[in-house]
Chain A
């Protein structure tokens, strides 16, 4: 589905027209064409509303800068269904055909950029990875819960990014290989961190977490998973692992997790988040109980 709506009425003669009479005629023609276009759109909207092959979307609207939108409300959109249509496709159609001010983030449309996590029919999902056909109508589309709404479906992601940064989400090591050697990882070790590397920073997990909602300082599932990705990477070495565990063991680290499994349920990349958090809890305990 294209972002651009194709121009439906093309005025081919306008480029070479010169005489005032023709200009007037052209202006009239354009006006008529525009009216016709409007009429056609209204008809299409009416038809869409009543047809069976349309999807009914209820979309959260809010804009502090527009007078009529300061009180949040839900707008109804009736979008003609095409096979394979996702929630994101439907939103784009609604924006392009009904209301160009409808605001939401998206980029890759293939579940890799992580910019369109939304609250769809009561759970956190990527708009581009959610088929309309899997949802019951009306499809309720809201911005991610437990985040401040900036406008319509756009939430403030700053806090989430801060938590991600807090765990130092990059490879660090004190044991560098020799000059002409590569930093090799064993196959087993790669397999161990494989799932944890798949995070796309969409914040769906953070938004679903009841604990993160109540404790703003809690690192949250995504950040802990990020830390897992490096703490479990053997190439970082022992002292670096120690440093990572110290970050994770803090009051607002792994121990806040109450194993509600909400994050694991919603993660669009199927990362076993709870499993990773639990494993880090055990690592933290082993690290502090030195019987051996």
Chain B
């Protein structure tokens, strides 16, 4: 064989339209996992303000919660966390070899349930909590 043609990376993520359920579940799970890791840092940063007393912590929380962007981001965080947990449970079943023939349906179920929970949470988050 003289030469061969390698089509490069275009054939991986350039083909996203053709991905099946399991592939999407994998991508979303990776993505949400890393978003949660990212959130963990901000979470610790905010909590750390309590080290210098109750007042700075309350002030920080109130300042953050008064911003609409923060409240919208919280909806996003909930979506990411709920999906990660539901799909995480799905993956645990996959690891146990339970219900593998329904793996695509359980992925769609995770998506729908995430959607429902997130939509239901919107009023609470956007109204903000009075501390």
Greatest chain A CB density within 10 A among B15, B21, B100 is at B100
Residues of B within 8 A of A261 (CB): 20-23, 103-104
Does A156 contact B4, Cβ atoms closer than 8 Å? yes
Does B17 contact A145, Cβ atoms closer than 8 Å? no
* Chain A 32-71 interface mask (CB, 8 Å, partner B; 1/0): 0000000000000000000000000000001011000000
Instruction: For the complex formed, measure the closest distance between the CB of A136 and the CB atoms of chain B, giving whole angstroms.
Output: 13
Does A262 contact B4, Cβ atoms closer than 8 Å? no
Give 13 new A-B contacts, CB below 8 A, not counting A260-B25, A262-B23: A64-B3, A65-B2, A72-B5, A122-B18, A145-B15, A148-B5, A149-B4, A150-B1, A259-B26, A260-B23, A261-B23, A262-B20, A265-B22
**Is there a chain A Cβ closer than 8 Å to B94's Cβ?**
yes
Residues of B within 8 A of A97 (CB): none
Residues of A within 8 A of B104 (CB): 261
Does B20 contact A156, Cβ atoms closer than 8 Å? no
A275 to B4, CA, bound (A): 34
A199 to B127, CA, bound (A): 58
Residues of A within 8 A of B95 (CB): 259, 278, 281-282
Chain B facing A: main interface SS:
helix
- By a beta-carbon cutoff of 8 Å, the part of chain A in contact with chain B is 62, 64-65, 72, 122-123, 145-146, 148-150, 156, 210, 213, 258-262, 264-265, 272, 274-275, 278-279, 281-282
A245 to B71, CA, bound (A): 51
**CB-defined A-B contacts under 8 Å, sample of 26:** A62-B5, A65-B2, A72-B5, A145-B11, A148-B4, A149-B4, A149-B5, A149-B6, A149-B7, A156-B1, A156-B4, A213-B12, A258-B26, A259-B95, A260-B23, A260-B25, A261-B21, A264-B100, A265-B22, A274-B22, A274-B94, A275-B97, A278-B94, A278-B100, A282-B96, A282-B97
* Chain B 91-114 interface mask (CB, 8 Å, partner A; 1/0): 100111100110110000000000
